[in-house]
Structure 1
Amino acid sequence: MGWLWAIIVGFVLGLIAKAIIPGKQHSPLWLITIFGIAGALLGNWLATVFGIGETKGIDWGRHALQIVAAVVIVFLGDMAYSSMRGSRKQKA
């Protein structure tokens, strides 16, 4: 069941990150979901490093770090995806 939650959280984080980033992203939805999963994992790791991974109540700091990490990963991942797609089109 953990993998299902990872996909759901990654999907939601990816969509939030996509909405925050200005302009149009060209990555497909499945890739945005993978970027969101990576953002969640990176955000959780950063929260643990900063000592806010486990708090009483809602972990606002951890969630904020997850969103920031997802925004960065979606932005960089979309740039890489677009450049790879562009280089494929030029070869054809």
Structure 2
Amino acid sequence: MEIDGIISAIFIGIIIGVLGRLVVPGRQRIGVLWTIAVGIVAALIGSVLAAAFGVDDTKGVDWIEWLIQIGLAAFGVAALDRAKARR
């Protein structure tokens, strides 16, 4: 992963975090900054996974990579919400 891929993953991570939060049903007890942080981490991990599976180099929009990233963000938001609920 090159530096431009990392920078774009960070910017896209903000969008991914919000989309991941929208996918999770119900009200989440985490803040906006946590949502963005989860989105950035999910975007970076999703990019690495997409590269590992070989689905990251397509012409146009990488829909499969986006789905992986959104799924990871939804999982991260739900996991963080449950961790906060335990406290």
1:23 — aligned with what?
26
Alignment of 1:39-58 (within 5 A): 39-58=42-61
1:81 — aligned with what?
84
Segments of structure 1 that go 5 or more residues without pairing to the other structure are 87-92
The CA distance in 2 between the partners of 1:9 and 1:53, in whole Å, is: 15
The CA distance in 2 between the partners of 1:13 and 1:81, in whole Å, is: 21
Q: Would the aligned equivalents of 1:27 and 1:82 in 2 still touch at CA under 8 Å? A: no
The CA distance in 2 between the partners of 1:4 and 1:66, in whole Å, is: 13
When the two structures are superposed, what TM-score results if normalisation uses the length of structure 2?
0.81
1:90 — aligned with what?
none
**RMSD (Å) for aligned C-alpha atoms:** 2.0
Q: Would the aligned equivalents of 2:16 and 2:70 in 1 still touch at CA under 8 Å? A: yes
Deviations 1:38-58 (A, max 9, x none): 110111111011111111121
When the two structures are superposed, what TM-score results if normalisation uses the length of structure 1?
0.78
Q: Percent identity?
A: 30
Which protein, 1 or 2, shows the higher relative CO under an 8 Å CA cutoff with sep ≥ 6? 2
**Which structure has the larger Rg?**
1
Segments of structure 2 that go 5 or more residues without pairing to the other structure are none
How far did 1:12 drift?
A: 1.5
